[in-house]
Amino acid sequence: MIAFLKGKIEELEETKAIVDVNGVGYGVFITGRDAGILSGNRETVKLYTYLQVREDAMQLYGFLKKDDLHVFQLLLGVNGIGPKAALGILSVLSANDIRFAVLAGDAKAISRAPGIGAKSAQKIILELKDKFDLQETFDSSLAETENDAVVTAGDRQIQDEAVQALVALGYPAGESLKAVRSVQQTENMTTEDLLKAALRNMSF
């Protein structure tokens, strides 16, 4: 099994990259999001890969983040969701956006992906809702954006509560998280204060 590829991007298309690994060119299907990140990059890159073996072909799917590969594999476990559909979902939503959408039952967010209708989105939610944990998802998303900032356990709890409150009010999970993250949290801010500030930042 090929766990990852490390090499230079020789060619790049919207959904496929040719990676030169010691003189051997590997064709790897990638998400549109990763294609955008890799655009213009000719330095050495590392792609975490999934190898699909069929009777008539062997196809590689690659991701810049191991977490994207993990969610991709979970999506493949959903009845009726193949590699192309899973790749399309991860082109529209990040791994954490998918987690929040599943946990919040936000079929509308998932159905934004090409080829994914409301019925397929509901099936994804039904089959994956027990695979994700809200607290772990929230912490993971915070870790991606905090950089070197210091966030206390109390701050995280308040942020977590604010996101859950927005989701309970009917807002999409991804938008709720973005709104909470956009608030400059002060030392004495309560969950209610953060929630009010986040509501003002909602884009709809």
Instruction: State the Cα–Cα distance between residues 34 and 45, nearest whole angstrom.
Output: 11
What local confidence, expressed as pLDDT, does residue 90 receive?
96
Please tell me whether the overall predicted TM-score, pTM, comes out greater than 0.85 for this model. no
**128 Cβ partners below 8 Å, 6+ apart?**
74, 75, 78, 102
What is the set of domains in the chain, with CATH numbers? 4-64 (2.40.50.140), 66-132 (1.10.150.20), 133-204 (1.10.8.10)
**52 Cβ partners below 8 Å, 6+ apart?**
58, 59, 60, 61, 83
What is the mean pLDDT, run by run of 10 residues, along the chain of 204 residues?
91 91 95 89 88 89 95 95 95 89 87 92 94 69 52 70 84 75 81 89 63
What local confidence, expressed as pLDDT, does residue 153 receive?
59
